[in-house]
Homo-oligomer: A and B are copies of this chain.
Amino acid sequence: MIQTSVLEIPASYLFSDIGKQVAAYQASHPDKRVIRMGIGDVTRPLPRVCIDALHKATDEMASADTLRGYGPDQGYEFLRDAIARNEYQSRGATIYPDEIFVSDGAKSDSANIQELFDVDSIVGVTDPVYPVYVDSNAMAGRLGHYLNGDWTRLVTFPCTEENGFVASPPRKEVSLIYLCFPNNPTGATASASQLKAWVDYALDHRAVILYDAAYRAYITNPDIPRSIYEIEGARECAIEFGSFSKTAGFTGLRCSWTVVPKDLRIDNASLHALWARRQATKFNGTPYIVQRAAEAIYTEEGKAQVERVIGYYMENAARIRGALEALGLTASGGVNAPYVWLKCPDDQSSWAFFDRLLNEAQVIGTPGSGFGACGEGYFRLTAFGSHEDTIEAMDRLRKIL
Residues in chain A within 8 A of chain B (CB atoms): 1-4, 6-7, 9, 11, 13, 16, 39, 41-46, 48, 50-51, 54-55, 58-59, 61-64, 67-71, 104-105, 107-108, 111-112, 115-121, 131-132, 135-136, 139-140, 175, 206, 208, 249, 251-254, 266-267, 269, 273-274, 277-278, 280-290, 386
Contact of B282 with A112 in the complex, beta carbons under 8 Å: yes
Specify which chain B residues have a CB less than 8 angstroms from the CB of A42 in the assembled complex.
Answer: 67, 69
**C-alpha spacing A105/B230, complex, angstroms:** 35
Residue of B at shortest CB range from A39? B70
**Minimum CB–CB distance for A59 against chain B, Å:** 7
A294 to chain B, nearest CB (A): 12
* Contact of A267 with B61 at beta-carbon distance under 8 Å, contacts A251-B69, A254-B285 already known: no
In the complex, the answer to whether A283 meets B108 with C-beta atoms within 8 Å is: yes
Specify the chain B residue showing the minimal Cβ separation from A104: B104
In the complex, what residue of chain B is closest to A243 when comparing beta carbons? B284
Contact B62 A41 (CB under 8 A): no
Q: A64-B45, A267-B2 are in contact. Are A16 and B280 (CB under 8 A)?
A: yes
Q: How many copies does the complex hold?
A: 2
Enumerate chain B residues within 8 angstroms of A274, measured Cβ to Cβ: 2, 6-7
Closest B residue, CB atoms, query A110: B282
Shortest CB distance A398–B (Å)? 25
Contacts of A112 in B (CB 8 A): 282
Given contacts A51-B62, A282-B132, contact A267 B1 (CB under 8 A): yes
What's the Cα separation between A251 and B72 when bound, in Å? 12
Whether A11 contacts B118 in the complex (CB less than 8 A), given A252-B71, A282-B112, A287-B290, comes out as: no
CA distance A208 to B68 in the complex (A): 35
Residue in contact with A6 in the complex, picked from B4, B43, B67, B277, CB distance below 8 Å: B277
**Set B1, B120, B289: member contacting A54, Cβ < 8 A:** B289
CA distance A283 to B83 in the complex (A): 22
Across the interface, name the chain B residue whose C-beta is closest to A275.
B6
**Known A64-B386, A70-B41, A252-B288: A281·B2 in contact at CB below 8 Å:** no
In the assembled complex, which residues on chain B have CB atoms less than 8 Å from the CB atom of A61?
45-46, 50-51, 54, 252-253
The distance from the CB of A129 to the nearest CB of chain B, in whole angstroms, is 14
Q: How far is the CA of A59 from the CA of B55 in the complex (A)?
A: 9
Q: A45 — which chain B residues lie within 8 A by C-beta?
A: 61-64, 67
> Using Cβ atoms and an 8 Å threshold, which residues of chain B touch A280?
13, 16
CA of A364 to CA of B135 in the docked complex: distance in angstroms?
Answer: 44
